Structure 1
């Protein structure tokens, strides 16, 4: 589930390729003939799952891919999409379960295609990625062991990206990108999407505290490149059945690098905690398990730990406010846009009702209980 950005209102247009047009793109740009195609849900891009027929001299390679068609606004920044694609390739080569990128006929990782939309011609960046197996975390029962592994994955990913180099890496310094966690204060201009109720009061309070206690202390956090959207639909898992009969899940896929930006280690763990809370039966208890996994690789500093509660609240606000804003603009996509909102407001309200100290104590006590152990 890609999360969009603050340029959506005027300039951004979601692609509207027909299945026939998508098949033609796969053939013309990547040289494959499509034998089967299926639309996939998306936020502001367009995705298709495609099965391809390979020529006799290329048998044995992947036959299932995802065709990603970027929206018009994102397509104006092909350098950013190129960097995101190279990050996925770098992580794949490092052993992470990310998609590999299919090269175009010209040897590139992306291609720019133009379509006639009736009144005008629109250009879209397209990519073809290998299809990853598994089910989204949102669809499986998530216990402490999987939460720990997701926290560990988030830290390992960020640590591995310390070694990533690319001549266009500066593209990830997205200062005004609404989904960079440092930009929670930018939500102020979208508050009109909320009613005059308790939810709006909470968001206003989060923004105020964020400015005072996070924005003012960013220099105390350690910088890194963030995936930025390790949510419960962007992490895929597969299960195995041990002798006990209880399913054990392992991560089989990491999706969607569209929200990547330069950030901080503590941002990644806060984002993972927030999204793992969404479907949990014990949302307040999630944070400690994710934190324990993350800190098994990258222990947080006292300053970073001190910001964690507000950062998790800030990500809730980003997701909930921008979903409400986007629903006003695109009511036809409301069901997909409001996935997080179904339980998100309730969780944010509960965090405030419990209070910062109580939530932090729960998270930190749980993380401390691991010691050097791993959940079973």
Structure 2
């Protein structure tokens, strides 16, 4: 978790100066975008072009190789036909650069990129039809299949062993459970952690490994209206949680976040699963662990949100978006139980697949 003093807080004039200095572009307007640990600023130039200036927090900025490989992955997926941003080259031909900036804590080094702007609105702002959820599952699987083909001399940096958002590292949550002290939710989280250790961990060897986006969520998926009456995915953004993981992790993360936006969250899993399995059918171990992996992601989201608020109290509203929606869904899933939820998911996925 990035502490408050590590998070960039550039002013509009500082952002405009950086864009002029490194890209020879003249901004006509700047708009701050929501962000978890970094800073994102939408830049419109006098020519009418749009970009996103992304300034990494000081902790992430200390690992430019990791950011470089993630940026290459975005470009690789873009070349493969997926709607991902790409980094604009600076006047010296670089994808990114370190800049000394004073955000109120003295001069610190921040890693800066200027990314292409993708049109659309977050998927959280539109109705989630079964067809759109199917498309989400399918594009997530397509993305991970493409990433298996990616080559890069420093690809190994994406083996992020202690990365706290990795689903492999669910047991690490135990040391932060104190943020739920006094909250009955703590017992549910403890139960999920126990199930993870006893049910999921023994099946690791059967999970198929791959590179994953790792944060395929309701704010990182952009959509726009299509020629019919529905929507299509127009953008996949924010690759900062990208790492080596497993296919089933990506699927579980996707299902969890899309549940936050649906009036009947349990129904979300079936359509996403059908889209996913149209390209990457799950094996028996992956199917058996999907329920607990989805609940594990809910636990990560809730615990880390509470922890982050202790570090960034002024950003509480944004940090708690997923957590506030997720708590009642986690309770409902846990109380409903694995057997019933799986029946809903796998039965509706099978029915949906017959229609597509």
For 1:119 and 1:41, locate their aligned partners in 2 and report how far apart those are by CA, in whole Å.
21
Alignment counterpart, residue 36 of structure 1, candidates 19, 29, 39: 29
Q: What does 1:1-376 correspond to in 2, within 5 Å?
A: 6=1, 8-9=2-3, 13-53=6-46, 63-117=49-103, 120-240=106-226, 242=228, 247-374=229-356
Deviation of the 1:120 alpha carbon: 3.2
- What is the DSSP-based 3-state SS (H/G/I as helix, E as strand, rest coil) of the residue aligned with 1:253? strand
Task: Count matched residues.
Answer: 356
For 2:79 and 2:328, locate their aligned partners in 1 and report how far apart those are by CA, in whole Å.
40
For 2:112 and 2:101, locate their aligned partners in 1 and report how far apart those are by CA, in whole Å.
12
Instruction: Give deviations 1:185-231, integer Å, cap 9, x for gaps.
Output: 11111111113232100101111111112222211100000000010
Indicate the residue corresponding to 1:57 in structure 2: none
For 1:195 and 1:289, locate their aligned partners in 2 and report how far apart those are by CA, in whole Å.
36
Deviation of the 1:108 alpha carbon: 1.4
- What is the DSSP-based 3-state SS (H/G/I as helix, E as strand, rest coil) of the residue aligned with 2:218? coil
For 2:130 and 2:184, locate their aligned partners in 1 and report how far apart those are by CA, in whole Å.
32
TM-score norm. by structure 1 comes to 0.92
For 1:371 and 1:48, locate their aligned partners in 2 and report how far apart those are by CA, in whole Å.
40
Structure 1 unmatched ranges of 5 or more: 1-5, 55-61
Instruction: Give deviations 1:110-142, integer Å, cap 9, x for gaps.
Output: 111001345532000000011110010111110
1:131–1:117: structure 2 CA closer, same or farther, 3 Å change rule?
closer
1:334–1:166: structure 2 CA closer, same or farther, 3 Å change rule?
same
For 1:189 and 1:253, locate their aligned partners in 2 and report how far apart those are by CA, in whole Å.
36
For 1:34 and 1:371, locate their aligned partners in 2 and report how far apart those are by CA, in whole Å.
48
For 1:121 and 1:328, locate their aligned partners in 2 and report how far apart those are by CA, in whole Å.
24
Deviation of the 1:9 alpha carbon: 4.3
Deviation of the 1:27 alpha carbon: 1.2
Deviation of the 1:271 alpha carbon: 0.4
For 1:164 and 1:279, locate their aligned partners in 2 and report how far apart those are by CA, in whole Å.
32
Indicate the residue corresponding to 1:58 in structure 2: none
- What is the DSSP-based 3-state SS (H/G/I as helix, E as strand, rest coil) of the residue aligned with 1:232? coil
- What is the DSSP-based 3-state SS (H/G/I as helix, E as strand, rest coil) of the residue aligned with 1:125? strand
Cα contact 1:29–1:111 (8 A) shared by 2: no
Deviation of the 1:261 alpha carbon: 0.5
TM-score norm. by structure 2 comes to 0.97
Instruction: Give deviations 1:282-340, integer Å, cap 9, x for gaps.
Output: 10111011000000000000000000000000000001110011112211000000111
